[in-house]
Structure 1
Amino acid sequence: MDAYRAIITKRDTRHFLPDPIPPDVLTRILQAGRMAGSSKNSQPVRMVVVQDPERRAALAACGDYAEHLKAAPLAIAVVLLPGGGPFDAGRAAQNLMVAAWASGITSCPIAMHRQECAREVLGIPPDHTIATVLAMGYPDLKHPLSQGRQRLPLDELVSWERWGAHRPEGG
């Protein structure tokens, strides 16, 4: 799947098959996260791969809407070093999710509402931030990926030159 197709077809899901992600596929996904750009090439993002079901269950208790983490065969915590910016973490997370989808693996980002809890589960130092945790696995297609909700049309999302201005004629 080419990059554009992966981006426009990717959807989050909370329903996964129990099938493990092969090591070579996981390595490709992690490489995509590693290659995300960062401010001044500071590379403030680190990743923690969580495959153990008990640890994923413990991590799920650290987020308010994280129950589906228990069903995912894999999670990747995107961690920011001290001083790292959330935009850099977002770039890495998006690379991870798009690369996963290009291999047929779906994902869902999860907020860790109780950072101290998540840091303890993962053994992360107190001055680091868990930007997000990505639940990943092959999609259980008994559940629709889009949940039936359509994306807004482009002309509702984009302004031209000034807020609320429409695309110029012929543009």
Structure 2
Amino acid sequence: METWDAIRARRNVRAYTTDPVPAELLDRITEAGWRAPSASNRQHWDFVIVTDRGQLAELSTVWRGAGHIATAPAAIALVVPVASDDRTRVVDQYDLGQATYAIMLAAADLGLGTGHSAVGEQDTARAILGVPDTHLVAFLLGVGYPADRPLRPIVNPDRRPFGEVVHHGRW
């Protein structure tokens, strides 16, 4: 898929087929996150790829919006050190957003759907993944082949009108 088509095709997917995602594809999309821009090239992130059914089921309990993780063939946990100050926290969250989108876009390019989730129960998430308490499990991404329809460019996305969002020169 061309980059522009992958951008237009990417959507949140929370229902997946039972087909496993090959390890090499999981590594490839995670590499996209690894290659994402990072403030001062700090790269505070770590990524944990999960394919074990039991772990996925457990991870689905760490946030009310994480139910799709239980049925995903795979998930990627995005982990970041606990920030020592507000500025670091904000920058790390921005960097995680860039890494998340890079992973999602690379996945879409391969026909894989992704669905993101926050993490509320830190102690539970850390225990499931073996993450030290010096780090936060910031987000989860379910990964798999979409159950409803394959990814393809969305012609009429459910977005605010372009002309209301984009401003040239001034608000």
Residues 98, 149 of structure 1: CA spacing in aligned structure 2 closer, same or farther, 3 A cutoff?
A: closer
Cα displacement (A) at 1:161: 2.6
1:39-54 aligned at under 5 Å gives the runs 39-54=39-54
- Higher relative CO (CA 8 A, sep ≥ 6), structure 1 or 2? 2
2:134 is aligned with 1:127: yes
Q: Is the 8 A contact 2:49 2:75 kept in 1?
A: yes
TM (normalized to structure 1)?
Answer: 0.87
List runs of 5+ in structure 2 lacking aligned partners.
Answer: none
Aligned length: 162
Letter in 2 for 1:140: A
Percent sequence identity is: 35
1:103 maps to which residue? 110
Distance 2:26 2:149 in 1: 24
Cα displacement (A) at 1:126: 1.0
Which of 155, 160, 163 in structure 1 is aligned with 2:168? 160
Q: Is the 8 A contact 1:39 1:88 kept in 2?
A: yes
List runs of 5+ in structure 1 lacking aligned partners.
Answer: 164-171
Residues 90, 138 of structure 1: CA spacing in aligned structure 2 closer, same or farther, 3 A cutoff?
A: same
1:21-100 aligned at under 5 Å gives the runs 21-83=21-83, 85-100=92-107
Q: Please list the CA deviations of residues 122-166 of structure 1 after superposition, one character each: whole Å capped at 9, or x if unmatched.
A: 1111121122100010001269998x9722221121122332xxx
2:12 maps to which residue? 12
TM (normalized to structure 2)?
Answer: 0.87
Distance 2:133 2:165 in 1: 38
Distance 1:86 1:144 in 2: 27
